[in-house]
Amino acid sequence: MSSSPPQPDCPRIKYVHSFEELVSTKFADGINALCWARTLPGDFDEIVAQFDVKEGRLALDEATLSGLVLSPAGQAARDILLADRKALADHGLSPVLDCIHGYPRDEEGGPVITDVYSFHVDSAPVEADTYLCSYNHTASEGLLNEEAVLKVDVPEIRAELLELYGGEDDEEFEEFLSDNCFNLHYAPLPEAQPYFFGIGNLWRIAIAHPESPVPPCIHRAPVIEPGQPARLLLIS
């Protein structure tokens, strides 16, 4: 299974050629996404087919993967999954391999939807990055920072949030936005051209934290339609 780089001339993305380069390259000069574009052998859908995941998500650990009876193509895919997990773990990370058919939806119906299907950034109180790889039919979607606006900065949305908050536009209101993750979600501008992370590519993306030298990478999860196979995602 192969995937070409999603947008070779994208000013926010830097392409690397190895795992070592992926983990050692520093975010700088506005680059907030590193992509190790890969062509992967094997049948990852065969692994997904072993699990009847039609809603929610199922975490797959090493023991579960190792116990599967697979064809040679399935075995090749499993070897890659185990190798990627080990590489990230050896780097001091905590990778999770999920078989996903859907994430919880934000059903509040408020002025800012805060589920992962909305363009958003990850955040942490300390220095950290997000690593992720989609191995089968669907992948995450990214958005350039220049082609997006924070939803809380849209006047109409901010007015609705102020009404919901029931107070003044002050520091406590900013805390309200942060506590509810409203300030992590973005709307694409009319001229925006989102890019796809691609299948098989291993990414490292910048997140919002106090020491970050670059803006965080804006992205969202893909919607999996009824009848489609579950998504096989490695994330850390």
Domain-embedded: residue 203: yes
pLDDT digits 0-9 by tens, 82-107: 999 999 999 999 999 999 888 888 88
Find all residues with CB under 8 Å of 180, minimum gap 6, and list them.
114
* pLDDT higher than threshold 60 for residue 6: no
* pLDDT higher than threshold 60 for residue 67: yes
More confident position, 11 or 181: 181
Domain-embedded: residue 48: yes
Spatial contact of 88 and 78, defined as CB atoms under 8 Å apart: no
Rounded-to-integer distance, Cα 139 and Cα 155, Å: 32
pLDDT of residue 9: 62
Domain-embedded: residue 186: no
Could you give the number of structural domains in the chain? 1
Domain-embedded: residue 32: yes
Centroid of chain to Cα 142: 8
Query: How many other CB atoms are there within 10 angstroms of residue 77's CB atom?
Result: 26
| Extended beta strands in the chain, E state | 13-16, 33-36, 57-59, 96-100, 129-134, 141-143, 148-150, 186-188, 195-196, 202-206, 218-220, 231-235
pLDDT digits 0-9 by tens, 111-138: 999 999 999 999 998 989 999 999 997 8
Domain-embedded: residue 150: no
Mean pLDDT of 33-57: 91
Give the confidence band of 7 by pLDDT, cuts at 50, 70, 90: low
214: tokens are 């670059």
Range of the domain at 201: 13-145+194-235
Domain-embedded: residue 45: yes
Domain-embedded: residue 188: no
Question: Which H/E stretch holds residue 167?
Answer: none
pLDDT of residue 227: 79
Domain-embedded: residue 174: no
Rounded-to-integer distance, Cα 103 and Cα 101, Å: 7
Determine the Cα angle at 132 with ends 60 and 78, to 5°.
40
* pLDDT higher than threshold 50 for residue 1: no
